[in-house]
């Protein structure tokens, strides 16, 4: 089968997924399975098609399934107990009302580590309105600062399903990815903050208007900020410490180091986070605990299925061999890290989902790594960081998060498009620029 014909089939399949999920609004998993089956039948007629599909689905589920479930449990507990709001109130108390956007931005950055960006925005949107009404700061400024801070860690830190799945496909060390993702999310968030501030200054945007009674926030029922931070900070510290120990070659030196390395494995670290999150529960009965766990598992189910479907599609693409051919061609362009960045950016802009974009891009990029000169541990890390930056842009009307921001902030979609969508461009380019500069010294 000719390379040209295979290339056409792969390109057609990617366009088909974009069309089915963004235009027809067909369920993402059904779209992924249908297109994967079509591509396997047409491009791999002599292969064991169903074995390829099952292996792709099962291997992806096996590599990240528990991580997603545990992450969702922590997120649901923080949501239902008011832990996220407690963190937000603490930040505001330290920065003062004049710096409410910065306080909410820091809150979004921290809360966004375990919580999905759309859920985090929904949880904190009422607080954003209260901050805006209290301080008389324009609602678009406060709301979009919150939005981009949540979004930055959603795209860059592999506690979230898209980055997690891509890490599995790319065979990237999760500890290194988490540390690097958090580091590179900081300049991206700051760039988006100042962009948003400039775009909303002197534009006539007004503060939120809410009932006077709603301005009084009852914090008596909220858990302490210390307990609220534990489920976020402890797992990240465990994973980070284990990753640093591994990087310095300390993991096999004695029992203490081996124990830390064991507890620092992402699955166990997140399970420790779940244990700490249970300290936030005021009602500790088994029935109440079960209701929260069941809510988390119900929320995790659709995510697991879509992510595994993306992994299945990726394996089919890999089996066609088109990635190696594309890598051979692109390696001659000298673009290097720009290749994973641009491919993910195009997929994100076209179909809207950062998760689908980075998973699809990972499957396409992984076979190219050797020819792009990135088939080393650090090369793979920088490649996936570049993909994460690409998955940030451009968030616009085909992205569900765009509409969450618009509707929960009571803003006109034109404002969201002008301010938020452009901020995602600034964020993605800033993050990629930082990654590229760092690569010059490390790779």
Structure tokens of 193?
């903050």
Average pLDDT, integer, range 221-234: 84
Read off the pLDDT band of 275 (50, 70, 90): very high
The answer, yes or no, to whether residue 268 has pLDDT greater than 50, is yes
pLDDT (mean) for 198-223: 63
Between 70-74, 157-161, 214-218, 314-318, the lowest mean confidence (pLDDT) is in 214-218
DSSP 8-class letter at 20: I
Tell me the C-alpha distance between 441 and 443, whole Å. Answer: 6
What are the tokens at 419? Answer: 């301010």
If we measure between CA atoms, which residue out of 128, 132, 72, 21 comes closest to residue 300? 72
SS3 content of the chain, % helix, strand, coil (to 5): 80, 0, 20
3-state secondary structure of 210: coil
Lowest mean pLDDT among 217-226, 273-282, 294-303, 403-412: 217-226
pTM exceeding 0.75: no
pLDDT in tens, 126-170: 677 767 777 788 888 999 999 999 999 999 988 777 888 888 888
**pLDDT at 57 > cutoff 50:** yes
Q: Point out the least confidently predicted range of 44-48, 147-151, 255-259, 388-392.
A: 255-259
pLDDT for 30 beyond 80: yes
* Across 244-266, average pLDDT: 72
Whole-angstrom distance, CA of residue 413 vs CA of residue 423 = 14
Average pLDDT over residues 222-242: 82
Interval 363-397: pLDDT, tens: 888 888 888 888 899 999 999 999 999 999 888 76
**pLDDT of 3 strictly over 60:** yes
Mean pLDDT, rounded, for 18-31 = 78
Average pLDDT value for the chain:
81
- Residue 167 CA to residue 2 CA, distance in Å, equals 31
User: Hey, how many other C-beta atoms are within 10 angstroms of the C-beta on 45?
Assistant: 9
What distance separates the 2 farthest-apart alpha carbons in the chain?
Answer: 70
pLDDT of 220 above 60 = no
Spatial neighbors of 347 by CB under 8 A, at least 6 apart, are: 14, 18, 356, 357, 360, 361, 390
Q: Which of 116-120, 139-143, 178-182, 271-275 has the lowest mean pLDDT?
A: 116-120
DSSP string, 404-432: HHHHHTT--HHHIIIIIIHHHHHHHHHHH
Using a pLDDT cut of 90, give the percent of the chain over it.
18
Average pLDDT for residues 319-330, to the nearest whole number?
68
Q: Please say if the pLDDT value at position 80 is more than 60.
A: yes
* Domain regions of the chain by residue span: 3-205+224-442
Residue 27 CB neighbour total at 10 angstroms: 16
């Amino acid at each position: 089968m000719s390379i040209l014909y295979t290339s056409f089939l792969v390109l057609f399949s990617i366009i088909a997924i974009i069309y089915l999920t963004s235009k027809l609004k067909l369920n993402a998993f059904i779209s992924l399975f249908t297109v994967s089956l079509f591509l396997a039948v047409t491009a791999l007629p002599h292969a064991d098609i169903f074995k390829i599909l099952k292996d792709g689905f099962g291997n992806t589920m096996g590599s990240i399934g528990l991580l997603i479930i545990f992450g969702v449990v922590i997120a649901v507990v923080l949501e239902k107990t008011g832990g996220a709001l407690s963190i937000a109130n603490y930040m505001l108390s330290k920065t003062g009302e004049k710096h409410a956007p910065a306080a909410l931005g820091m809150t979004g950055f921290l809360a966004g580590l375990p919580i999905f960006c759309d859920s985090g925005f929904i949880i904190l949107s009422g607080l954003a309105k209260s901050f805006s009404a209290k301080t008389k700061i324009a609602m678009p400024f406060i709301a979009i600062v919150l939005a981009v801070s949540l979004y930055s860690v959603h795209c860059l830190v592999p506690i979230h399903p898209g980055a997690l799945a891509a890490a599995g496909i790319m065979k990237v060390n999760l500890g290194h990815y988490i540390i690097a993702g958090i580091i590179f999310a900081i300049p991206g968030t700051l760039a988006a903050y100042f962009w948003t501030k400039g775009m909303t200054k002197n534009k006539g945007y007004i503060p939120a208007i809410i009932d006077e009674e709603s301005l009084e926030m009852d914090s008596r029922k909220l858990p302490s900020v210390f307990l609220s931070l534990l489920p976020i900070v402890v797992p990240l510290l465990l994973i980070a410490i284990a990753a640093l120990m591994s990087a310095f070659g300390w993991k096999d030196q004695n029992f203490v180091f081996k124990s830390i390395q064991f507890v620092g494995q992402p699955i166990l670290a997140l399970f420790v986070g779940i244990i700490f999150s249970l300290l936030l529960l005021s009602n500790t009965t088994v029935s109440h605990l079960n209701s929260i766990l069941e809510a988390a598992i119900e929320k995790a189910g659709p995510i697991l299925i879509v992510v595994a479907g993306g992994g299945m599609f990726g394996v089919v693409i890999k089996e066609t061999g088109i990635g190696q051919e594309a890598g051979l061609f692109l390696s001659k362009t000298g673009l290097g890290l720009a290749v994973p960045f641009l491919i993910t950016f195009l997929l994100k802009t076209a179909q809207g989902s950062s998760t689908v974009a980075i998973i699809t891009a990972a499957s396409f990029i992984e076979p190219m790594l050797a020819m792009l000169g990135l088939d080393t541990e650090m090369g793979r890390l920088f490649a996936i960081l570049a993909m994460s930056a690409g998955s940030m842009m451009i968030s616009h009307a085909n992205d569900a998060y765009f509409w969450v921001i618009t509707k929960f902030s009571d803003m006109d979609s034109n404002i969201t498009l002008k301010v938020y969508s452009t901020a995602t461009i600034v964020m993605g380019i800033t993050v990629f620029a930082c990654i590229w500069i760092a690569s010059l010294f490390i790779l």
